[in-house]
Structures are given as structure tokens and as C-alpha cells.
Amino acid sequence: MESAEVARRFLAFFEERGHLVVPSASLVAEDPTLLLVNAGMVPFKPYFLGQRTPPSPRMTSAQKCVRTPDIDEVGKTTRHATFFQMLGNFSIGDYFKEGAIPFAWELLTRPQADGGFGFPEEKLWVTVYNDDDEAASIWRDKVGVPEGRIQRRGLADNYWHMGVPGPGGPCSEIYYDRGPEYGDEGGPVVDEDRYLEVWNLVFMQSQLGEVRSKVDFDIEGDLPAKNIDTGMGLERMAAILQGVDNIYETDTLRRILDRAAELTGSRYGRDLRSDVSLRVVADHVRSGTMMVADGIRPANEGRGYVLRRILRRSIRNLRLLGGRDAGLMHELTAVAIKAMGEQYPELVSTAANIHTVIDAEEETFLQTLRTGTAIFDTAVEETKRSGGTTLAGEQAFKLHDTYGFPIDLTLEMAAEHGLQVDEEGFRRLMREQRERAKRDARDKRTGNLDVSVLDELLTGAGGEVDFIGYRHLSGDARLVGLLVGGANVPAAGEGTEVEVVLDRTPFYAEGGGQLADHGLIRLGNGAVIEVTDVQSPLAGLIVHRGRVRSGEAQVGDSAHAEVDVERRRAISRSHTATHMVHAGFRRALGESAAQAGSENSPGRFRFDFTAPGAVPASVLRDIEDEVNEVLVNDLDVRAFHTSLDEARAMGALALFGEKYGDEVRVVEVGDYSRELCGGTHVARSGQLGLIKVLGESSIGAGVRRVEALVGIDAFRHLARESVLVSQLAEQVKARKEELPERISGIVSRLREAEKELEKLRAQQVLAVAGSLADGAKDIGGIAFVGHRAPDGTAADDLRKLAVDVRGRLMSRPAVVMVTGVPKDRPVVVIAVTEGARERGLKAGALVGIAAKALGGGGGGKDDLAQGGGSNPAAIGDALNAVEYAVGAA
């Protein structure tokens, strides 16, 4: 039974029993405390916590998940994986144990011909929590599981909670007996390799207070409504149903693994090392494909860092397998898309975007490997020169952080040189960096607020803040939450920085690339709050950040919220312009030019999109012309809500990686652009006035950025450019249309003149070679030349002069030192004849003496070396130091 069929049967079974089938949420978690969705129940937490009303009391899903704490173990074992899918059925205050337990048993044991999984009843064992007599009784008396196959376990194994105050309860797990060839008899309490867990049923029945650890917490009482949360690992179930030993041999992963073996000339099962690498590649390519499909981009922090690490581990292991060519990731990504496409059709529709991102990361990393290897060799040389046997953690971290060099590669290459690596120092620096990144991302969104405080604010707002900003730019409300320094307070006085929650608001919270509204909140008691930022740290919660300008703000006060109208209008123009430019790029470059981010600010916007390389200037001009023609037509801009399926059917563009609910908001600009969007927009395209594209550049692997102006800012920019062009035309005495050719000619002549000047300067520098050699100072039988060249002399000319003078003194023991200041920093070159080297004088050692005096460093060979420093005033000291060293030889 293929994986897609396993998921289909699970969802169909529960749909027939009154469950709403909920599509998988994005891997990008709404929960600000999580980087990625790591469990099937994560999207349902707001329902379990009472923060949101569920669309149905019974729900079921096949949820995409990524877990990375054990990423280094992936491949080394057949149990660890980063991406997995969790099948689950959920009851919010509906059925409880008496419903969940029979459901699970029926689906597992029903014959496959009747839509079940066909497990023999005698092969199934169950565990229950020690004190859960109710669950044990249902298994024994209602389902009919023999007492001997029902085992009791403690808190560590059979009790669930979220690690924080909230719901919790006992759980019951179902295990499949794979047979005596896999281990000892005696049930899951004896051997969990033989008895494989296939399903976990969580019975949320208690309200937990303080949670100190997995097994140490306080139970405050019963929940007002009991809930069910279950989870079945799709990959593990597929392995059993397909009769294979582990998840890497199931249909989806095995297809990627086999293709990787074919591309690299290896074979799975031949030896442990290649097996590990093939498993890493199979898991990571699938994980990376799914993450990119959800809009995550490779980066050096947060979830982007997780993706980058996963992709680079794949590329690294392909190289270990012998795959040296570029393009291997493209081949494997295509296999992953095909393997997972039946379950997730969006992989197929966004395949071009996925390939663009992953191909670019592969190309970048292959270059990184080349660059990093050179840097690594230098670090090894420095370590050995100092007599060390361990590469410093700081060096390993720099290789990783600056050059993208993976630590496993550093460890392997260090071992080849007989060195160890300070892994603890490296991992300490990595932990510090990750904590900073997580804090930065969390603070932006939550403002350092504790999640429990956010929950309280959401409750105070009645479960969800009513956003009225699409229709109104001001409105009456009530102040329901007030925070100072992240803590709930009843009041705040003049000058205090505050965070405010209203029960309804016209203020747009930053999101979808659109900057937050600014404005004022006037309270009924006369107090005024100036709003400078608006965020939505939890779904349904809108937090206004600002300062109490006058009076005292108090919770419960009536309020009148007023958005800064001009700022909102300017931002709305930018947002509508972004939609139109996006449409223009897709028309010009194809569907692969997918939006990868944006920022809509007053009068200015930027638009990021996926592309394999730079967009020609002529294409940019054509797109700009096309969009401005659309503006002139003054098309109607309208927004409406519809179902996600209907929006897709009408061709509405769902942005790559965005999360959408069943109902979506569609924004249309005539027939030119149609996108799913929650932002604010103008009423007609003509209100934009003008769009001026400023330029295009790269901002990362496979991602380009266009910046543009809109409205009066675009007109002002063109007016300034017009004045500048007129001034240039006047200066060069040419018509405006002749400027490009005329300026090109001037630049060419300047470059030729600069080349001639360089030749003259070099000739002047070298012209003194004879007189310098003739004037060499005799120091104990060694001819010494110490010369400072004129400032601005190129370093290459300094080197040529030193070699020329040395050539004139070849018949004698001689040391030639030439120094100068090419570009603000002093450079020194020392050339030594063979006779001087026989006297023990070496250019590299002498340069070290000079460079130390200059406040820098340097090195080279015995006959010729170069160095530099940061203190031009110390050149005289450097000359004296080298002369002294020559005399002491």
C-alpha cells in the first residue's frame, strides 16, 4: 500500500464518521515559539486552549512536520528523519475515550478490501497509563483485547502535556508485533524494536498548573471539555504495510534514495558509510523540497538556517558518494516532487519555483566548498605552525558562519590532517547564534511577550480582535488589554511605552509585506496614545505599540482609533503596485518568477522573486512600460472573499509559501492581476499615478530584488533625474539623446589616460632602481637598500622595484626593502639575494619584523616576501628595525 493510499484511507475513514478533513497547515508555524510545525496537533492548539472556535468538533488531518534536534543522527540510524507526516483525528469536546479507542481499532483491523489497514488482531498490543482504568476497561471489555496484551506504563511513557500550563492527560499507544526475528517477546515494555508503536491516543482531561518536567507537574482539576488528540506516523505505517524494515525503504524515500545511488554510481546495502550518506540524501532532499514549497528560503538564521543546513548536508553527502557534478540536486528534487505530488499537488504546480531555490543553493554551496577549502587549509597551517593539534572552535565557527562550511566536513578534513576540532567551542558559538536569531525573530513578532500573556490578551479581546480597517480608517472601540514591559497593567501614565489591545480596530498589523499603520488612539478620559507599530503575534490578536502622549490610559476605557490616513493611502498604493509588478514579471519571465517577499512602505516598495540570474535592463523597461500602461487605463481594484478552491479555479495567484484558510480574500486589478491577499489597496489603478523601477539585484541564492517608487515619490524622482540630465547635457555640450554616447566616449578616454598615467608612474618608480643599487649601504659586508616610494605607488610597482634593485645586486649579499602607502595602509616588500640568504637572512622573517612595526603582518618565501600594516607613520621605524636586523646577522 503506497503512502498516499495510507493517508487517503485514514482521512476517508474519519470523514465517514463525521470528521471535517482539514488540509495540512504550512510547515511555518503560527505559534511564535516554534520555528517549524513539529507535531500533528500543533495547528489545533488554539482549539484545545479555547482561543478559537473550531470549524467542527470532529476533525482529521495529514499534517506535514519537521523535527531537527536529532539531525546529526539522520542516516546513522533508520529511525531518525527530519520530515514526516502525522495522521490524526481530533475531538474538541465531542467524543472521548469511548469513541477514540474503538475508532483506532476498527481502522487498524478492518480488512484492506473494506478500506482498512488489515492488521491481524493478535499482532496488536496496547499500553495505557498506570492509573487509567477507564481506558484499560474499554480496550478489554468493549474492544476485546486480551488482558495479557494490555500493558501499563508510567508518566514518562503514557502521559502527555505541552510542557507549559494548559491541558494534559493520559495516553494509550497501539503497537504492532513484527515477530521474533526483531527481538524478545513480552510486549512493548520489553522491546520497542520488535513491538513498533503505530498510534498514540491522547486523552486531554486535566488542567495542568506548574509544569516542571515531563514527569513533574501539578494537576489543578478537570478540563471543562474533554478532548482527543491522536497521532499515527504515516512513514512508519507505510513501512509495515509495505513489508519493509524501515522508513527509508518505503515508496517515497526509496525512490529518492535509488536515484541518488544511480547518479553517484553507488549501491544501497553495499557498505555502512554509503548507506548513511544515501539515507541522509533521501531524507534531506524530501525535507528541503517540502520546506521550500512552504516558502522557506535558505538563510543564516531561523528556519532558513534549518533549510540551508539540510540542503547542504545533502550536497555534501552526494560528494562523499562520488557525485561531483552540479545539477544532482535538481534531479533528486524532481524525484521528490513526483513522489510526494499525489499527496501535495502544490508541489507540482510550484515545481519551477522549488527548483530555482534549490538549484541556486547547490550552485552557491559548491562554490562555498571551493572557497572554504582554501580558508580551511590556511587555518590548518596556522594551527600546525603554532604547534597545536586542535582547530579552534572559533575557526570552525567562522568557516561555518562566514563561508557556509558544514562542521562534519571540517571534522573530516581536520582528521585527514591529523588534527582534532574544538567541537564544544564550535557548538557553544552555534547555540549563542541560534538563540540570538530566535530571540530576534520572536521579539519582532511578540515584543518579548510571554505566550501566556498573549493568551490572556486574546481572551480579553473576546477570542479575536475585530479588524474594521478595510472599510474604515477610524472607529470606536474599548481598551481591553494594556501592557508595560511585557506585563499586564491596569493603567499607564503619560510618556509610558505601552502595548495596547482594543476589541476592534482599523489599524492594519504588519503582515504580507505591508508595513503597519500609524496613528492615534483617543481614550474617553481624554488620554491620547500615539501608535507607531502594530503586530499580530497570534492569529486573531492585534497589538498596538506606542507611547501615552498625554493623560492616563486605563483598561476598560472607551476609545476612538484613528489611522494616519496619508500614510495608509501611500502604503496602499505601494501594495497595489507590488501586485501589478508581480503580474508584469510573471508575464515577462514565466511562472518561475514567483514572489519571495516584499515590503510596502509609503511611496516605495520592494519586490523579491525567484530567478536563476539577473533580469536584463531591457526586460525591466518593458515591464515598467506595461504596468504604467495599465495604470493609465484606470482599472477597477476590488477585493472579495471566497473559498480557496473557487479562488484557484478563477486563476487567483496564491503566493509561494503563504498560508491560507478555507475562506480567502482575493484582490483583483481589472483582469491584469488577481492574487490572494489580506492587505489594503487603492480603489482604482489610476490612483497609483506612476511606477518607476529603480533597479534589480541579487539578495541570495536564486532570489532577486526589484526596488521601485510609486505615486508622487516616483514623479519627484523623475523630476530630479530630468534636472540632472539637463545639467549633464549642458556640461558636455550635447543634446540629451546624445548623452550616453558622449559620456561613454569621455569615460573611455579617461580610462586610457589613467592607463598611461599608471605606466608613467611605474616608469618613474623603476627609474630610481639604478641609483638605489649604487647607493646601497654596506652593513657588515651586506648591501642594504631601504627606500620609501612616493605615496600612491601601487603595491605591484613596489614589488617590481624591489626585484629590479635586487637584480642589480645579485653578485653581492644584499637585502632590498621597499615600502610605500598605496591606499592609506603601508605596504612593505623585501627581496634578498642568495648571498644574503647564505648569511642567514630570509625575506619572510625580515618582513615579519617590518610588519610588526607597522602594526600588521605578512609573509612569503625566503627570497621575496610582502607584508603590511595599519600605521603609515611607523614606516621609518620599520626601515630602522630591518636595518638593525641586517646588521645583527
Q: Which CATH architecture has domain 451-563?
A: Beta Barrel (2.40)
271-308 CB burial, b ≥16 within 10 A, e <16:
eeebbbbbbbbbbbbbbbbbbbbbbbbbeeebbbbbbb
Specify binding-site residues.
575, 579, 677, 681
- Chain segment 602-617, per-residue pLDDT in tens: 999 999 888 878 889 8
Grade residue 509 by pLDDT with cuts at 50, 70 and 90. Answer: very high
For residue 401, what pLDDT is reported? 74
- Summarize the confidence of residues 628-654 as an average pLDDT: 87
Q: What is the 3-state secondary structure (H, E, C) of 103-137?
A: HHHHHHHCCHHHCCCCCCHHHEEEEEECCCHHHHH
Coil, strand, or helix at residue 186?
A: coil
For residue 292, what pLDDT is reported? 92
pLDDT at 740 over 50: yes
Q: Which fold has domain 3-242?
A: BirA Bifunctional Protein; domain 2 (3.30.930)
DSSP conformation letters of 844-882: HHHHHHHHHHHTSEEEE-SSEEEEE-S-GGGHHHHHHHH
Residue spans of the domains in the chain: they are 3-242, 254-368, 451-563, 577-718, 769-888
Q: Which fold has domain 577-718?
A: Threonyl-tRNA Synthetase; Chain A, domain 2 (3.30.980)
Please give the angle made by the CA atoms of 599, 297 and 443, to the nearest 5 degrees: 60
Grid cell 505530488 in the structure block, residue: 341
Nearest CA to 74 among 275, 208, 218? 275
Nearest CA to 674 among 705, 642, 639? 639
Alpha helix ranges (H) inside 561-711: 565-589, 617-632, 644-649
Beta strands in 4-52 (DSSP E): 20-22
- Chain segment 800-838, per-residue pLDDT in tens: 999 999 999 999 999 999 999 988 889 999 999 999 999
Grade residue 188 by pLDDT with cuts at 50, 70 and 90. Answer: very high
Write down how long the chain is.
889
C-alpha span between 101 and 786 (Å, rounded): 92
Long-range CB contacts (< 8 A, 24+ apart) of 261-268?
Answer: 261/321, 263/318, 263/323, 263/328, 263/331, 263/332, 264/318, 264/321, 264/322, 264/323, 264/328, 265/321, 265/322, 266/321, 266/322
For residue 438, what pLDDT is reported? 57
C-alpha span between 252 and 7 (Å, rounded): 13
The number of beta carbons lying within 10 Å of the beta carbon of residue 689 is 16
- Summarize the confidence of residues 468-491 as an average pLDDT: 92
Which residues, 6+ apart, have CB-to-CB distance to 25 below 8 Å?
37, 42, 43, 63, 64, 659
- Chain segment 371-387, per-residue pLDDT in tens: 777 788 888 888 888 88
Q: Which CATH architecture has domain 769-888?
A: Roll (3.10)
According to DSSP, the residues that pair with 550 across neighbouring strands are 528
C-alpha span between 102 and 143 (Å, rounded): 6
For residue 251, what pLDDT is reported? 93
- Chain segment 304-363, per-residue pLDDT in tens: 888 988 998 899 889 889 887 788 999 999 999 999 999 998 899 889 889 988 998 898
Chain Cα centroid distance, residue 253: 24
Q: What percent of the chain has pLDDT over 70?
A: 96
C-alpha span between 153 and 865 (Å, rounded): 73
Check residues 727 and 401 and name the one with the higher pLDDT. Answer: 727
- Chain segment 534-592, per-residue pLDDT in tens: 998 887 889 999 999 999 999 999 999 999 999 999 999 999 999 999 999 988 988 77
For residue 107, what pLDDT is reported? 97
Q: Is 649 exposed, middle or buried (0-12, 13-18, 19+ CB in 10 A)?
A: exposed
C-alpha span between 136 and 149 (Å, rounded): 11
pLDDT at 777 over 80: yes
Check residues 763 and 293 and name the one with the higher pLDDT. Answer: 293
The number of beta carbons lying within 10 Å of the beta carbon of residue 168 is 23
Q: Are strands 124-129 and 83-92 parallel, antiparallel or unpaired?
A: unpaired
pLDDT at 449 over 60: no
For residue 710, what pLDDT is reported? 94
Coil, strand, or helix at residue 706?
A: strand
Chain Cα centroid distance, residue 17: 40
Q: What percent of the chain has pLDDT over 90?
A: 58
Name the average pLDDT for the chain: 89
Specify binding-site residues for Zn(2+).
575, 579, 677, 681
Q: Average the pLDDT over each of 100-104, 246-250, 419-423, 647-651 and give the range with the smallest value.
A: 647-651
Q: What is the CA radius of gyration of the chain?
A: 35
pLDDT at 660 over 70: no
Enclosing H/E stretch for 523: strand 519-523
Nearest CA to 267 among 321, 313, 344, 310? 321
Instruction: Give this prediction's pTM.
Output: 0.65
| CA dist 497 → 493, 729, 835 (Å) | 9, 53, 76
Ramachandran category for residue 269: left, alpha or beta (phi over 0 → left; psi -120 to 50 → alpha): left
- Summarize the confidence of residues 451-474 as an average pLDDT: 80
For residue 658, what pLDDT is reported? 54
For residue 448, what pLDDT is reported? 45
